[in-house]
Amino acid sequence: MAYQPSAVRIPLCHPSLLVHLRPEGTIYRQGDAANGWYEVRRGVVRACRYFASGDRHLTTFFYAGDVFGIEREVREETMEAVTAVELVRRDHADIDKGSPNGNLEAVLRTMRGYVHLLGHRTAEQRVAAFLLTLSLRLGTSTGVPVPMSRTDIADHLRLTMHTVSRTISLLCSRKLIAMSGPQTFSVLDLKALRRAAGQEHPWDEPFQNEHH
Amino acid sequence: MAYQPSAVRIPLCHPSLLVHLRPEGTIYRQGDAANGWYEVRRGVVRACRYFASGDRHLTTFFYAGDVFGIEREVREETMEAVTAVELVRRDHADIDKGSPNGNLEAVLRTMRGYVHLLGHRTAEQRVAAFLLTLSLRLGTSTGVPVPMSRTDIADHLRLTMHTVSRTISLLCSRKLIAMSGPQTFSVLDLKALRRAAGQEHPWDEPFQNEHH
DNA sequence: CGAACAATTGAATCCTTTCAAAGGGAGTGG
DNA sequence: CCACTCCCTTTGAAAGGATTCAATTGTTCG
């Protein structure tokens, strides 16, 4: 399985509470008591962890259809709106009669892919994988929006904004992608982009050993 | 919360099946169907992920008292004995009447610390944190055994064995630790070692924002 | 005692970061 | 409507940290 932001999807039931936020708005903060979970209706949300050392880590980006905040006790991450956002908030009770435990396992699986990205991938592979994911999530390869800033991307991929910018320029010069302004791009050569992301073979990721 | 290998502990109940392995023995492989969970009685176990690209990632080391293999469907990791190992295997049914979901959340929390280690820490900080953890797990600061090879450590901390070796030498030359052979060490300056690991302040890790 | 393997150490290389500065839009005020 | 400012992005050049390549030292086990 390739790297992909946590794509936990839960079928809708009766909307509980609609929440609207403007860009940079805060949904909740790390340390808060958990009081429900959220589903993204419109816009992009980022999961942040702030450290006393001053640095920031963006664990995940959530897009329309994604669900976050299923933890019960204390919020481990701060959730912030990247764009204008519309959310639905629901009670924790609702989740139980949906998927009892499977969500956490899905999150775990996603996180394993992320660990692999951080541990085994170069800057180029990370950026390529990120753009690829954006494109796949949106279902288009042309005019794909990049709603988050270079700094946001960098804090997610654990690079500097400079390296992100440089790498995007590199991918452009190689004709794998084309930018239309800093916030929109198109995939020119999907195969090559996959290759650049280190995902050319579907079985490249968790290697299945033969039984014995 | 500092970096620490997954320390999920579950109170013992009636032992089901005792398993003995010699060093380098395999408990199960990634891709296998899950058929129960394990508790370490003696020795050290490593959780491995093998990739088609050829590289290996050691997700976690498990020590006496630790539990692993709680996933239900398919094994995501290969489990191998680092030392001679004694395990107890139990059915999945047993875990349900213990902690329904809390284990996965604990694993998740541990993994977040690990992501931080990979993303935000230098080689020195990683090695220092690793040795610190070994010492804490054993409860001693002198004659702490390092059962795994430098390569194992490297594949866990995402460094090369060379860097691991160099860094250990560095910590020795600075009198933070002292090695008695390659597989045993003592902590000489705990405070400095903590500082080197980037854990001098307990609140250095997940920063708690003030509520509002 | 020698073979085989693990660990250590040195030197050069490479990739990312850091430091520094220029380019480019969006919004404001003259 | 244009000039100016601010901020984000891009790009250049130098520095740094870990890897790679290469070789030595050390340890274990026949």
**Mean pLDDT in each 10-residue stretch from start to end of chain A (212 residues)?**
50 68 95 93 96 92 93 90 95 60 75 94 98 96 97 98 98 97 97 91 54 44
Which of chain A's residues have a Cβ under 8 Å away from the Cβ of B72? 105
Q: At what angle do helices A102-120 and A123-138 cross, to 10 degrees?
A: 140
Handedness of CA A52, A153, A73, B106 (dihedral sign): negative
| DSSP annotation string for A83-94 | SSEEEEEE-HHH
Chain A segment 119-148 residues within 8 A of B by beta carbon are 119-120
Select the more confidently predicted residue: B109 or B41. Answer: B41
Which is more confidently placed, B106 or A64?
A64
**What percent of chain B has a predicted confidence (pLDDT) above 70?**
81
Per-residue pLDDT band for B112 (boundaries 50, 70, 90) equals: very high
- pLDDT of the residue at B104: 73
The pLDDT value given to residue A212? 42
CA of B161 to C1' of D27 (A): 18
**Residues contacting residue A180 through CB under 8 Å, at least 6 positions apart:** A143, A186
Looking at the complex, report in whole angstroms how far the Cα of residue B180 sits from the nearest Cα belonging to chain A. 31
Is A49 in contact with B116 (Cβ distance < 8 A)? yes
Assign B72 a pLDDT band (cuts: 50, 70, 90): confident
A77: amino acid identity, one letter: E
Identify the residue whose tokens are 């050829």.
B54
Torsion, CA A124, CA A128, CA A131, CA A135, rounded to 10 = 170
**C-alpha pair distances (Å), A160 with each of A210, B165, B179, B207:** 40, 28, 37, 21
Higher pLDDT, B211 or A120: A120
Nucleotides, chain C, CB distance < 7 Å: 6-11, 15-20, 25
pTM, rounded to two decimals = 0.89
pLDDT for A117:
95
Nearest to B158 among A119, A203, A206 (CB): A119
Q: How far is CA A161 from CA A147, A157, A199, B60, in A?
A: 15, 10, 23, 31
d(CA B91, CA B165): 40
Q: Which residues pair with A74 in a beta bridge?
A: A33
Ramachandran quadrant class, B136 (left: phi over 0; alpha: psi -120 to 50; beta: rest): alpha
Is any Cβ of chain B less than 8 angstroms from the Cβ of A160?
no
pLDDT of residue A73: 82
pLDDT(B164) > 90: yes
- In 3D space, the residue among A97, A83, A88, A101 whose CA is nearest the CA of residue A16 turns out to be A88
pLDDT at B101: 55
pLDDT category at B7 given cuts 50, 70, 90 is very low
For residue A74, the 8-state DSSP code is B
Whether B78 CB is under 7 Å from strand D: no
pLDDT in the model for residue A106: 80
A206 at B interface, C-beta within 8 A: yes
For residue A125, give the nucleotide whose C1' atom is nearest its CA: C15
Shortest Cα distance, chain B CAs vs residue A96, angstroms: 11
pLDDT at B10 over 90: no
CA torsion angle for B117, B119, B125, B126 (degrees, to 10)? Answer: 50
Alpha carbons B32 and B145: distance in angstroms, whole number: 32
Q: From CA B121, how far away is CA B128, in angstroms rounded?
A: 10
**Residue numbers in B near A51 (CB within 8 A):** 116, 120, 204-207
Q: How confident is the model at residue B94 (pLDDT cuts 50, 70, 90)?
A: low
**What integer pLDDT is reported at residue B3 of this predicted model?**
67
State both tokens at B136: 């804490």
Q: What tokens appear for B205 in the block?
A: 């890790």
pLDDT of the residue at B165: 98
